[in-house]
A and B are shown apart, each in its own frame.
Chain A
Amino acid sequence: MCMRKLCAIALGLGLGLGVASAADGPHFGRPIGPADLAPWDISIAPDGVGLPPGGGTPAQGAAVYADHGCAACHGDKGGGGPGGALVGGGPLNPTDRDPVKLIGNYWPYATTIFDFVRRAMPWQQPKTLTDNEVYALTAYVLAINKIIGEEDVMNAQTLPQVKMPNRDGFVSRYPDKH
């Protein structure tokens, strides 16, 4: 603590880098505003906060899936490949157990599909899809899992409303263990 205070006095003030609002510290960073942060601020909460404008349908998603060669990793209609299946997944109960964790039998939030596709897919060119394409792919994946209808549009309003089949399938180990 002593070291931090010394730094604050000797360096923070001396170099004029201090930010008046925060606590003591040397302040070697630079303040950054929302506009400059926006390209990296891609977090999407399960209640939909952070979802961008735009939208898409399962049919549009099927076209994006074909155009971008998604089947090479995920198979025809998401049936499976080296990148894993997008449909299927058996029961999680202990009597007839198929613990393969897939979107339809396991994922608790539909927003996670949009978030992951936008940040990580396609594997060879991540972060290149438009928001409309990501919404369309999300709608396609939800529709092939029969979680939404073929005509449903996914957008910032509808996507957080989708109730995933395993939404209530989790218990948090935190904060009991931390």
Chain B
Amino acid sequence: MPIGEDIMSTRRNRRGDSAPQVAGNGLIDRRTLIGRGALIAGAMTTGVPTSPTGAAAEPLTNGPWSLAPGVPIPPYGQPSKFEKKVVRTLSNPNLEPRGSAARTPHHLLDGTITPNGLHFVIARGGETTVDPDQHRFVIHGLVKQPMEYTLDALHRYPMVSRVTFLECGGNSAPLYSKQPLQASVQAIHGLSSCAEWSGVLLSTLLDEAGVDPKAKWLIAEGADLPTMNRSIPLGKAMDDAMIALYQNGEALNPSNGYPMRLLLPGYEGNMNVKWLRRIKLVESPVMAINETKQYTILLASGKAWQFYFPQEVKSFITRPSPGLNMASPGYYEISGVAYSGNGRISKVEVSADGGKSWAPAALQAPVLSKAFTRFRMAWNWDGRPVILQSRATDEAGNVQPTRDALIAERGPPRGTPNVAAFTMEHFNAITSWGVDAKGEVSHVYA
């Protein structure tokens, strides 16, 4: 959404002026605005809705779409032609010899499920095209009986479905830069998405193959250009790991591993190996490039964390956010997503005064473990500059840290990387959006 475009103007409600404030700079109790709330009830009794713009209403007319047949229903439905701007941003559109990132446009979506065509992607060798009839998946190493599976074979096993987020370890890396990067929530946080995945629990297949007690890890490997490989603890594999075959009800999107991927709910995205072709059970990790160089976090001490695994609790406001500006003071809904690789979100707090005061946001049901949770907060903006923040807490008691706290842990940044720089920092700090007196939203540090 270009700066200055005012998609939020229709949300204004001047009657929010009298709503009780729950935190500084106009955060209000949204229960007063929905359902049987006093403000709405009051408005209904007056029966005099006031146009926010003060413009007189025009007589209603029939649009041309109401006066003629439409077009044939397509066999596979596409988004409206008026929604062409709702797309991923691509880091490598011409497939130069390097990795590719495609980022989810969080600011143009709502709810908790990311459409398959907008799910984020990181791929080292482009989108891999795998022929499902020729694809093979093997389990071997420290098992009683090494096994080979076709896609058809996997379809015959008992399946499960679950909603879970995936997040690249490099998501939100721009928050590490010295100066706040002026970019959209898509550029800053677009490497996380959430979908419903269906497939076969890995434990079902490992039980069948017969795991040798010496096995403590497994190596998962893809059929893509780099034959991407990662070491995964056997405990995770036996807990909730899945060989996913379906994404939001349809076969996996090619960018997300068609015909099969490993799904490790809550774990760093890169471990969820796409185009999965091999699992080898071993005694100790293989020390692949993506677990020794990439996805390790250099700490202030000079040592680096290895085997980071669960993505820590995070939230960010998707609306308003940079590019989604506000035309005038009045009522707005602040909304965003929160998630944790440790389980359910237990609380999201919102601040409109840069963290001086906080109020709990409404968490939209269902609140699922290791899944996006949508939060909503009512706000009556008085037209003065404010700083908006969200802070999530998960059911394990982890609280989303401030940027300053993470910088202290990991050492000061050096320079300001490009938005596409892929610095692997597992950065889950609080994000701050500054709103100026004109209603323009920018990325700030607070």
Contact = CB atoms under 8 A, between A and B. Distances in A.
Contact of B305 (A19, A34, A173): A173
Nearest to B278: A40
A33 interface: yes
Nearest to B137: A29
B180 interface: no
Contact of A28 (B157, B221, B284): B157
Contacts of B356: none
B310 A28 contact: no
Contact of B138 (A37, A45, A108, A173): A37
B42 interface: no
A119 B227 contact: yes
B233 A174 contact: yes
Interface of A: 3-4, 7, 11, 19, 21-34, 36-37, 40-46, 72-73, 82-83, 91-94, 97-99, 101, 106-109, 111-112, 115-116, 119-120, 123-124, 126-127, 169-175, 177-178
B97 A124 contact: yes
A49 to B, nearest CB: 9
If over half of A's interface residues share one DSSP class (helix, strand or loop), that class is named, otherwise mixed; here it is loop
Contact of B282 (A23, A45, A94, A127): A45
B411 A174 contact: no
A124 B301 CA distance: 39
19 contacts: A19-B147, A22-B208, A25-B205, A28-B157, A37-B138, A43-B221, A45-B282, A97-B411, A99-B298, A108-B292, A111-B287, A112-B293, A123-B225, A124-B97, A169-B303, A171-B306, A173-B308, A174-B308, A178-B309
Contacts of B302: 91-94, 169
Given A93-B302, A101-B294, A172-B306, 7 more contacts: A4-B204, A22-B207, A25-B207, A29-B148, A29-B149, A46-B286, A126-B125
Contacts of A120: 124-125, 225-227
Given A22-B144, A126-B226, A83 B282 contact: no
Nearest to B225: A126
Nearest to A102: B293
A177 B310 contact: yes
A33 B138 CA distance: 11
B280 interface: yes
Interface of B: 96-98, 124-125, 138-140, 144-149, 153-154, 156-158, 204-205, 207-210, 219, 221, 225-227, 229, 233, 235-236, 277-278, 280, 282, 284, 286-289, 292-294, 296, 298, 300-310, 411-412, 414, 423
Contacts of B284: 45
A82 B154 contact: no
Given A172-B307, A174-B307, A178-B233, A42 B292 contact: no
Nearest to A116: B289
B306 A82 contact: no
B296 A170 contact: yes
B236 A178 contact: yes
B297 to A, nearest CB: 8
A178 B305 CA distance: 13
In the complex, the 4 A-B pairs of residues with the closest C-beta atoms, listed nearest first: A120-B226, A25-B208, A29-B147, A174-B307
A32 to B, nearest CB: 4
B217 to A, nearest CB: 10
Contact of A107 (B219, B227, B293, B310): B293
B309 A169 contact: no
A173 B208 contact: no
A169 B144 CA distance: 36
